[in-house]
Amino acid sequence: MGVHVFDTMGTTVSLRFAGATAPASVLDEVEEAFRAFDERFSLYRPDSEISRVARGELHLTRASAELRIAYAEALDWSQSTGGAFTPHRPDGVIDLSGTVKAKAMEAAAQVLESSGEAHWMLVAGGDILVRGSLGDLPWRAGVVDPDDRDALLCSVELTGRRTALATSGTAERGEHIWRCGDPSGPQRYRQVTVLADDIVTADVLATALVAGGPERCPELLARFDIDALMVDEAGHLTATPGLQCARGLTSA
């Protein structure tokens, strides 16, 4: 199995191939796909386009088509999730971090597919996108236990249409998701993992379910074609049928 690892967008990205590693030219294109999103959309980079918008140096109407399209798509997600997902910080600053990593993963996938690579697993900050298989076996990914980062709640097969897995929560990065309702209330999720057909849907819905909590969970699960595994503050597990791979859980 070939492996390529690099750091970008404030996280580590790993690319595993079922066979030999892709040519260096393809790997360079994959890294460039991530770099381009980071340079345009990172609020941690003072020279990024979105940072210039946040400081008022660049009006949104004069921003690049790429930024305006990404913002419009994030607004669509906000509307479709009833506001559980939002592209804004509480101070009104546009923050597209909830979609751009997944979109960078999609761009990297396009590079790999156009170059003829058919069997690979892309992991970026814990979010996973796969194509093909690992020989005769499907790709498998582990869901980390938020109470023990060295343990797994379960492992998931990524096969058929379900090729994307994303996890959001507070166990690793602390409180970084703006929650709906009372953020200090006991009825909330500590971690949510979503299995979906594409990585943007998986990433957005994992964030939306953490933000919306148990109160919004039934509505979101009914509206979107996903599977999800939720861990609440007490450590109780709830899952849809496609992710009922962990012990001690309740059906969602």
Considering the chain, what is the average pLDDT of its residues?
92
**pTM of the shown model:** 0.91
Strands (E), 90-241: 120-124, 127-131, 139-145, 148-158, 164-169, 189-196, 227-232, 237-239
Could you tell me the two tokens for 166? 């994303």
Ranges of residues in the chain whose predicted pLDDT is under 50: 173-176, 181, 183, 186
Q: What is the pLDDT of residue 244?
A: 82
Tell me the pLDDT tens digit for each residue of 60-84.
Answer: 999 999 999 999 999 999 999 999 9
Q: What is the pLDDT of residue 58?
A: 98
Q: What is the pLDDT of residue 171?
A: 53
Look up tokens 């200090």; give the residue.
Answer: 184
Q: What is the pLDDT of residue 175?
A: 45
Tell me the pLDDT tens digit for each residue of 224-252.
Answer: 999 999 999 888 999 999 898 765 566 77
**Residue boundaries of the structural domains of the chain:** 2-251
Would you say domain 2-251 falls under CATH 3.40.50.620?
no
Q: What is the rounded CA–CA span in Å between residue 98 and residue 100?
A: 6
Q: What is the pLDDT of residue 246?
A: 63
**What pairs with residue 10 in β-bridges?**
none
Note whether 168 and 210 are within 8 A (CB). Answer: yes
Q: What letter does residue 43 receive in the DSSP assignment?
A: T
Q: What is the rounded CA–CA span in Å between residue 40 and residue 47?
A: 8
Separation in Å, CA 77 to CA 70, 80, 100, 207: 11, 5, 13, 11
Q: What is the pLDDT of residue 174?
A: 46
